[in-house]
Structure 1
Amino acid sequence: MIVRMGLLTRKPGLSVEEFRNHWRNVHGPLAARLPGLRRYHQNHIVDSRQLAIDHARGTWVIDGISELWFDSIDDMHRAISSEAYREVAQDHVRFVGETGLITAEQNVVVPVNAAAGPLVKRMSILTRKRGLTPEQFKSEWWGFHADAVKKFPNLMGYTQNLVADRSAGLGQPASDEALPIDGMVEMWFRSVADIEAAFRSPAANVSQTHALSFIEEITTFLVETHEVI
């Protein structure tokens, strides 16, 4: 299964509440009709602080991150070639401004513990260290780093999304420089206090020291997730 993610910025002149309302109540039901779509989540940005880590932050300013899961790349391409997608694209420009799109391969390191009750979700955009190849980035991130983060206290879920393709707008190819994202992190905790405690732990010291060797920038957000499908 692969995931298509949109990094969304609300259209100029639109308030945060107007953006969220349109995305949830108008756009969500349209996108839910895409053929072959397995899951669809909207992640509404509620906090853009770096929060608990000391690492260079990127210049990302976004209002939401969409996630659409398909069984394969071919299924995704069929969906975005469909009549249903034309309606989605037409509605997109009514409430979204700048947009970056990525297609990612997922590595579920720690499955989400749904039994833990309501959780706080943290998402982070990663840009690989200058001079590192995508293959080297993947090796460091999915290897040592994944094992280190797995040891965080209070961690209720951890997924790594490795970028395989990127585009700007609704389909124009984008270079690494135009869309400097190599990975998207998803982490779940019971509370913000648990996030802060986890990143003060010995396990975090190990992971954050290692991060300096292969990650140029980490841009973090707290999100509220609306599960459409």
Structure 2
Amino acid sequence: MIKLVTFQKRVAVLTRPEFEERWRTIHGPIAARFPGLRGYMLGFSLDEGEPPADGIAQLWFDSRDACQASYASEIGRNGSADASAWLARREHLLASEHWLRRAGAISATPFKVVLCLKRAAGDARETFLAGLRQAATAALCERAGAVQARLSLDEAGLLLNSKVDGDLSLVAGEAPYDALVELWFATEAAARAGRAAAAGWTDEAFGARLGRFEDALLSEHVVVMPPSPAYGTKEGSAP
């Protein structure tokens, strides 16, 4: 499977509670009807003030082509029009997933830290991702106190075309980030402590080799339950 990650910042006329309520009750149900959708999670920021992203959405499809076909459908275009009307930031990443450690049901780890990594200008994507896969191991869970961890990688350099008019096909180009490091926690306090530890790991592992970095502390909510292997175990089952 392939995952579409969308970084979301609301328009100024919405408060953060209004944004979250709208995505739960209006936009979420629209996106849940996208053809070929395999799973849909909403993550809302727990940071105070104005974080770079108010939310990060994740939508799973069988392939990049299936994702693009879904967004090119009438339902997909209507969903894109609705999202664009209420978002000041709407950046996409199409990623493959690679687990570092899997454990437990989604409900047991509702808090997530996301490290968003972009290579420095002039560096090759393949080299950067290979270095990340060497540096990011299950030991990162121990350092951050995370229950489970996953890498999401832009290995193809293909962008979703989420416009509403014309012929919509995948576009070759640079996503806002090359990779995400995702860490899950059972409590918000553990996630906040783990975020600091994970940021220290990022500085040590990459330092000046990063051209762009963003991290987020999220509370995750299921809209459409992602199938395995998007999550390590089915809801309610033992690890």
Among residues 99, 111, 134, which one is paired with 2:125 in the alignment? Answer: 134
Partners of 2:199 and 2:82 lie apart in 1 by 42
SS of the aligned residue for 1:101 comes to strand
1:26 corresponds to which residue?
Answer: 26
Among residues 93, 109, 124, which one is paired with 2:115 in the alignment? Answer: 124
Please report how far the alpha carbon of residue 153 of structure 1 lies from its aligned counterpart in structure 2 after TM superposition. Answer: 5.7
Checking the alignment, whether the CA contact within 8 Å between 2:141 and 2:183 is kept in structure 1 is: no
Please say if 1:215 is aligned against 2:210: yes
- Classify 1:100/1:197 alpha carbon distance in 2 versus 1 (closer, same or farther; 3 Å): closer
- Classify 1:19/1:83 alpha carbon distance in 2 versus 1 (closer, same or farther; 3 Å): same
User: How do 1:81-100 and structure 2 match up within 5 A?
Assistant: 81-100=72-91
Among residues 185, 197, 202, which one is paired with 1:189 in the alignment? Answer: 185
Partners of 1:205 and 1:7 lie apart in 2 by 23
Checking the alignment, whether the CA contact within 8 Å between 1:44 and 1:224 is kept in structure 2 is: yes
Partners of 1:10 and 1:197 lie apart in 2 by 27
Partners of 1:5 and 1:199 lie apart in 2 by 20
1:158 corresponds to which residue?
Answer: 149
- Aligned positions, number: 216
Q: Mind listing any 5+ residue stretches in structure 2 that lack a counterpart?
A: 225-239
SS of the aligned residue for 1:43 comes to strand
Partners of 1:116 and 1:12 lie apart in 2 by 32
SS of the aligned residue for 1:113 comes to coil
Task: Supply the RMSD in Å over aligned alpha carbons.
Answer: 3.0
1:52 corresponds to which residue?
Answer: none
1:225 corresponds to which residue?
Answer: 220
Checking the alignment, whether the CA contact within 8 Å between 2:177 and 2:212 is kept in structure 1 is: no
Please report how far the alpha carbon of residue 174 of structure 1 lies from its aligned counterpart in structure 2 after TM superposition. Answer: 8.3
Amino acid at match of 2:218: V
Q: Mind listing any 5+ residue stretches in structure 1 that lack a counterpart?
A: 50-59
Q: Deviations over 1:59-94 (max 9, x none)?
A: x71211111000112211221121211221232133
1:144 corresponds to which residue?
Answer: 135
Amino acid at match of 2:223: V
Partners of 1:98 and 1:86 lie apart in 2 by 17
Partners of 1:16 and 1:204 lie apart in 2 by 25
Checking the alignment, whether the CA contact within 8 Å between 1:140 and 1:214 is kept in structure 2 is: no
Please report how far the alpha carbon of residue 166 of structure 1 lies from its aligned counterpart in structure 2 after TM superposition. Answer: 3.6
Among residues 53, 74, 78, which one is paired with 1:62 in the alignment? Answer: 53
- Structure 1-normalised TM-score? 0.80
Partners of 1:221 and 1:205 lie apart in 2 by 15
- Classify 1:196/1:11 alpha carbon distance in 2 versus 1 (closer, same or farther; 3 Å): closer
Partners of 1:86 and 1:115 lie apart in 2 by 30
Please report how far the alpha carbon of residue 39 of structure 1 lies from its aligned counterpart in structure 2 after TM superposition. Answer: 0.2
SS of the aligned residue for 1:61 comes to coil
Q: Deviations over 1:144-198 (max 9, x none)?
A: 323542443632111111124346874795854xx54111221112234434655
Amino acid at match of 1:110: R
- Structure 2-normalised TM-score? 0.77
Q: Deviations over 1:100-136 (max 9, x none)?
A: 1111111111114328834421112112134421011
- Percent identity of equivalent pairs: 26
Please say if 1:44 is aligned against 2:44: yes
Checking the alignment, whether the CA contact within 8 Å between 2:112 and 2:191 is kept in structure 1 is: no
SS of the aligned residue for 1:25 comes to helix
